[in-house]
Structure 1
Amino acid sequence: MIKINNLDSHVETAVEHILNHLNIKVSNEGFPLILKEGTALNVSFDLSKIILTYQTLNEVFVGLRLIKEQGLDKAFQIDYPKRLKELTFMLDASRNAVLKTEEVKHLLNILALSGYDGLMLYTEDTFEMEDEPYFGYLRGRYTEKEIKDIEAYANQLGIELIPCIQTLAHLNGITRYQPYRDIFDTLDILLVGEEKTYQFIEKMIQTMSQMFTSKKINIGMDEAYMLGRGKYLDKFGYEKRFDIMVKHLKRVMEICKKYGFEPMMWSDMFFASGWGDYYAKDKKLPQALLDAVPKEVGLIYWDYYHTEASHYINMIEKHQQFGNKVVFAGGAWKWIGFTPDNRFSLKANQASMKACIEKQVDEVIITAWGDNGAEASVYSILPSIIYNGLLKYGSDEVDSSVKVSFKAITNVDFDHFMLIDSANQLTKNYKHKSTANKHFLYNDPLLGLLDTSTEENYPKIYQKHINKMKKAMPYYGRYQYIFETQLALLKVIQKKVNLGVYIRKSYQEKDLEALKKHVKTLKTVHKDIKLFKTIFSNQWHQDNKAFGYEIQDLRIGGILSRIETSIQKIEDYILGKTLSIEELEVELLDYYGGYKNFQKSHTIAEFRYKPVVSVGVTV
């Protein structure tokens, strides 16, 4: 037992939250816990009292986790100095899924126990803005009250809530509305040089200053590759993209300064202007470009794709040439459909963190994007989230100590939890960043765009995944609901993965008996998908606000409808009502344009829905 003495009310409330999460009881019969401020995290137990020395408030909770890991049946002394100054988790709340306030608080508990210092809330238009009724309309936007509530809870845990918005591109959510049409250049990119644009940006930044107490702000500005090629070109004539970018950045920085913000931004546009490829590591940036970038803005080097520390070191060195503050952003791969890729994330994060520590980049962000639907639960990447916190304090390999920490935080066995990746794992090679989970759910039974990417042994692989997850299912505790989603998905894919291949072969061989069997399988798959939809709906609505789920309804409903159409067409053909099935007459080609050189699914990372389901232009 642990007894808490002589704590001020602010710390005591926060400690109570975390003790409940850790399932540690407070009792007069327990050992006293003495908190002291110091220069590094240290925990000691002499069989009579616990002394927890911390540098920052959030380290109190890391210390509590260490106490749980050690137990109180013998004396111990732990020195736990951090190798990294600040670690921040970025939550994407703009790709359909807007995490409920109570779930953000649960996530904050996990971040505190893992050693995070900040939570960056990525909101494109998903925050409330005065007199802007279409901004975040029907998108589940956070209200000011919700932001304040989240921030108050974060502050109790010593975690800084940081605003993250877009001030140049990625504002697709509002491009459809007439009131905003004057401020867009092309696509989702704002019109630089237009005064209405800067009035709008100032309104966003002013709103952030009212909602958040943090003086940090991420102003975005990434991936605006068509900048200056639309209305800007008509209005101002041709200018180099880099010159437009710098001009715009200076205006936005003036606004940030007005409201007391210290801005940071994604750095890719400067590299794209310098050599056209963000990761062209062998090329040099022109000195004129280095000199032109304002020194007051922090540059965020984002990179989620490499597993060699040398690559990150090279890119960090190129960023440091600017003379600006450099922040690194790695990724926890949850943006590839319903199923994450923790296996790859762990390797990439291990390499990037090593490089950051070596090159003295002392601020790191771990992003959790939800591109193209945000189907995966934020909790599906708990191995990646927690591992990065442990890397901050000196861990390296995913070893027994990492697994002990993971169990202490989640009450789930690490190896059991890693089964969450199963639907994407078709080989044992972690570099195979597959999005098979989305491919084989949505692959059309008749068109079969992805039928050339399958292999004969895939159903057996999925059956093994199913068997392992079934055995582990009783041990997932609070997170069982996300594994129920994955198990239901695995069952669908196991039956469906090669079904289109079998149907086409039987049709071409005019094997009517085989086609009858395939119809039965299609009807079973239809039932399995309906069950999956129900289970996934439970997951979505437990985690997120309702808005955005309509996309999942439309997509899953779409594949159910296509299966119904497939059944009808095959049955009509069997009965002789039709003489052919047009889709099955077509000879399939490689998904990526390799003609008959078929690329297999374990090397395809295509997380977008539209290219998977059809080549039609109206989807």
Structure 2
Amino acid sequence: MNRLNAAIQMVEQTLNLDLSSTSTIKFIHRIDIKGYEILQDETSSTIYFQNLNDAMSALGIWISNPKTEYHYQKDRPIEKVSLMLDTARIAVPKIETLKTYVVILSLLGYNALGLYLEDVFEIKSEPKFGYMRGRYTMEELKELDDFAAKFDFEIIPYIQTLAHLGSIFKHWDYHSIKDIDDILLVNEPKTYELIEHMLKTTQKAFRTKEINIGMDEAWMLGLGRYLDKYGYQDRLTIMFEHLHKVNALCVKYDYQPSMWADMFFHLVAGNYFESNISFNEDIKKKIPSNLKLIYWDYYQTERERYDQKFTALKQLTSNYGYAGGAWKWIGFAPINDVTRRTMSLAIESAKAHQVKDFIVTGWGDNGGEASQFSILPSLVYLIQTIQGDDRIHIDNFLTLLTGHDEANWLALDKPNQLYENLPAIPVNPSKYLLYEDPFLGAANMPLSPIYRSFYQKHVKVLRQISKEYSPYQYVFDTLYKLCEVLKDKSTLSIRLKVAYDEKNIASLSDLAYKEIPNTIRKIEAFYQAFMLQWHKENKPFGFEHHSHRIGGLKQRLTDIANRLDDYIQGRVNEIPELKERIIELANDSYNGLRYLNTYSDLISFGKL
């Protein structure tokens, strides 16, 4: 019981909670039960538990549940449920952020936290590996693992052993092991020296025997220096050659490896999301029996699509898992609504196909802008859906732990919701409308004057929530101030083009001398709020991207105002960009909204 009492104290300290009421609970440790059992009536509370992870799960139910009488037994349709956080796509969460997640996830009933690392961890023998990327030191990783162990909670490393290692190739030290793009050179001895160094390091840092070795999205495998050295080879053969060497290293270090399954689908069918793929027996025989294949999919809105992929996956192996997505990788705001819409169907399918390992991924593509905690309502919803009941009272749980109820947290989706009463699809106007160049526009991006009215409504909602004191007040303040910017910036292109075409000097003057300077001031306020959020949750490394992006946005708007002044004052006769500019006005139900997430594609039609 000393470990249990210590764990409860750590919950109190980490989340700044008063859990003195838990002293009324009778905790009974039993090795003969699987999981936990809660007996609650009007006069007493008893929790039976096997390990501390189960005790914490039961505690999360107890502190959130308003019922006066209930009896719950742990019945996991899916044995292992984890969150994998992206720590490598610019935003590197602080250890304190990860500890907070360990506690929250433990109370929710998750078993593990995965860290997607790429090169963001220190390897003593590789000084350039993760250099200036905010890499975790061995001491930091061990500190986190020790902390999690006090809850019987697992930290799992997700590394890369084939692709997605573009950052290391900025250093000449690694050019000898580069095939093409961000892909390692297969059959090169130094490649396997690096991978072995990765495995040695993670083995020292973490207690777990599990490791994800990546190997996803290596679309150009064998088509660079490998092609130069060996000529064209069957790429599935190259894949297996590499996999067997990496797996041998995993066996050497007593690891139980998993990898993303997409390359097998891609190399056989040419497209990961192709329907009804068949694999022959020869391919199945070459997949190591100790290797778990992870089917990842964040997009489907029809259960049949998930079922098809599981059916195909089972042709390859009986050792498989599933990774869905908590959508926080499309800019500054999440879309929890899309997470719920897609993952509810994925959960149904995963249960039907007897998935035992369910991973929720929190990626950070192209900047890691969204708050690490912006997906909290999704994480509660998903574990509830997996359990198949309402054991955790969502509002009570979130309000107690964060100071905000579910409705407040779901309001974080609003910056991307510029439509009425439609099923959510993944769109991210809050990012691309921020960076869209008012003179140039961006490719494949219809616009609508109605955006302004939506952002006016969103400003009111988020401003009110941002005034409510809580440990997460800063998250709402950031998106409130983003909506303040977008209230005007979202339609600036349209109004600027109309005024120019009509030669309306009064309107152009108002834009140049009043609105654009005012928008720049609002961008500065947003920048300050976003910077506070970043440094509260993440290491400082990586923020330089946003200093350049948002600083560049302010400078570009200043330049545009100056160019307009030249035109208004008659120093130039035309503005070539506005003369050529074509604005496509949206005429669809989603008001032209798109999913455009790559910053460099939003600011120019040219490629550097």
Find the counterpart in structure 2 of residue 426 from structure 1. Answer: 418
**Is the 2:64–2:394 contact (alpha carbons within 8 Å) kept by the matching residues of 1?**
no
User: Displacement of 1:79 after TM fit?
Assistant: 3.2
Q: Distance in 2 between matches of 1:223 and 1:129?
A: 24
Q: How does 1:509-520 map to 2 (within 5 A)?
A: 509-519=502-512, 520=514
Which structure 2 residue ranges, 5 or more long, are not aligned?
Answer: none
Normalised by the length of structure 1, the TM-score is: 0.93
**Is the 1:112–1:157 contact (alpha carbons within 8 Å) kept by the matching residues of 2?**
yes
User: Displacement of 1:153 after TM fit?
Assistant: 0.9
**Is the 1:331–1:368 contact (alpha carbons within 8 Å) kept by the matching residues of 2?**
yes
Residue 224 of structure 2 is aligned with which of 207, 218, 230?
Answer: 230
Residue 472, structure 1, aligned to residue 462, structure 2: no
**Is the 1:167–1:220 contact (alpha carbons within 8 Å) kept by the matching residues of 2?**
yes
Q: Distance in 1 between matches of 2:508 and 2:529?
A: 30
Q: Distance in 2 between matches of 1:546 and 1:518?
A: 35
Find the counterpart in structure 2 of residue 105 from structure 1. Answer: 99
User: Displacement of 1:392 after TM fit?
Assistant: 2.9
User: Displacement of 1:56 after TM fit?
Assistant: 3.8
Structure 1 pair 32/585, CA: closer, same or farther in 2 (3 Å)? closer
Residue 115, structure 1, aligned to residue 105, structure 2: no
Find the counterpart in structure 2 of residue 363 from structure 1. Answer: 357
User: Displacement of 1:46 after TM fit?
Assistant: 4.1
Structure 1 pair 529/291, CA: closer, same or farther in 2 (3 Å)? same
Find the counterpart in structure 1 of residue 404 from structure 2. Answer: 412
Residue 35, structure 1, aligned to residue 19, structure 2: no
Q: What is the one-letter code of the residue matched to 1:187?
A: D
Residue 302, structure 1, aligned to residue 302, structure 2: no
Find the counterpart in structure 2 of residue 26 from structure 1. Answer: 20
Q: Distance in 1 between matches of 2:569 and 2:208?
A: 69
Q: How does 1:552-571 map to 2 (within 5 A)?
A: 552-571=546-565
**Is the 1:22–1:408 contact (alpha carbons within 8 Å) kept by the matching residues of 2?**
no
Q: Distance in 2 between matches of 1:339 and 1:493?
A: 13
2:471 counterpart SS class: helix
**Is the 2:466–2:480 contact (alpha carbons within 8 Å) kept by the matching residues of 1?**
no
Structure 1 pair 474/564, CA: closer, same or farther in 2 (3 Å)? closer
Q: What is the one-letter code of the residue matched to 1:517?
A: D
Find the counterpart in structure 1 of residue 372 from structure 2. Answer: 378
Q: How does 1:524-563 map to 2 (within 5 A)?
A: 524-563=518-557
Which structure 1 residue ranges, 5 or more long, are not aligned?
Answer: 1-6
Q: What is the one-letter code of the residue matched to 2:564?
A: I
Residue 219, structure 1, aligned to residue 209, structure 2: no
Q: What is the one-letter code of the residue matched to 1:148?
A: K
Q: Distance in 2 between matches of 1:548 and 1:93?
A: 11
Q: Distance in 2 between matches of 1:66 and 1:22?
A: 18
Find the counterpart in structure 1 of residue 55 from structure 2. Answer: 60
Q: What is the one-letter code of the residue matched to 2:324?
A: G
**Is the 1:34–1:49 contact (alpha carbons within 8 Å) kept by the matching residues of 2?**
no
Q: Distance in 1 between matches of 2:403 and 2:150?
A: 23
**Segment drifting more, 343-352 vs 283-292:** 283-292
Find the counterpart in structure 2 of residue 499 from structure 1. Answer: 492
Find the counterpart in structure 2 of residue 608 from structure 1. Answer: 598
User: Displacement of 1:589 after TM fit?
Assistant: 6.3
Residue 148 of structure 1 is aligned with which of 127, 142, 149?
Answer: 142
Q: What is the one-letter code of the residue matched to 2:406?
A: F
Q: Distance in 2 between matches of 1:600 and 1:390?
A: 30
Q: Distance in 2 between matches of 1:287 and 1:522?
A: 64
Residue 446, structure 1, aligned to residue 439, structure 2: yes
Q: What is the one-letter code of the residue matched to 1:438?
A: K
Residue 261, structure 1, aligned to residue 245, structure 2: no
Q: What is the one-letter code of the residue matched to 2:347?
A: M
User: Displacement of 1:48 after TM fit?
Assistant: 4.6
Find the counterpart in structure 2 of residue 290 from structure 1. Answer: 284
1:321 counterpart SS class: helix
User: Displacement of 1:407 after TM fit?
Assistant: 3.4
Output one character per residue of 1:289-344: Cα deviation in whole Å (capped at 9) or x when no partner.
33332222100000000122222122111111112411100001111011111110
User: Displacement of 1:58 after TM fit?
Assistant: 1.1
Find the counterpart in structure 2 of residue 82 from structure 1. Answer: 76
How many positions carry a matched residue from both structures? 603
Q: Distance in 2 between matches of 1:253 and 1:590?
A: 52
User: Displacement of 1:457 after TM fit?
Assistant: 1.1
User: Displacement of 1:376 after TM fit?
Assistant: 0.6
Q: What is the one-letter code of the residue matched to 2:49?
A: Y
- Cα RMSD, aligned residues only: 2.2
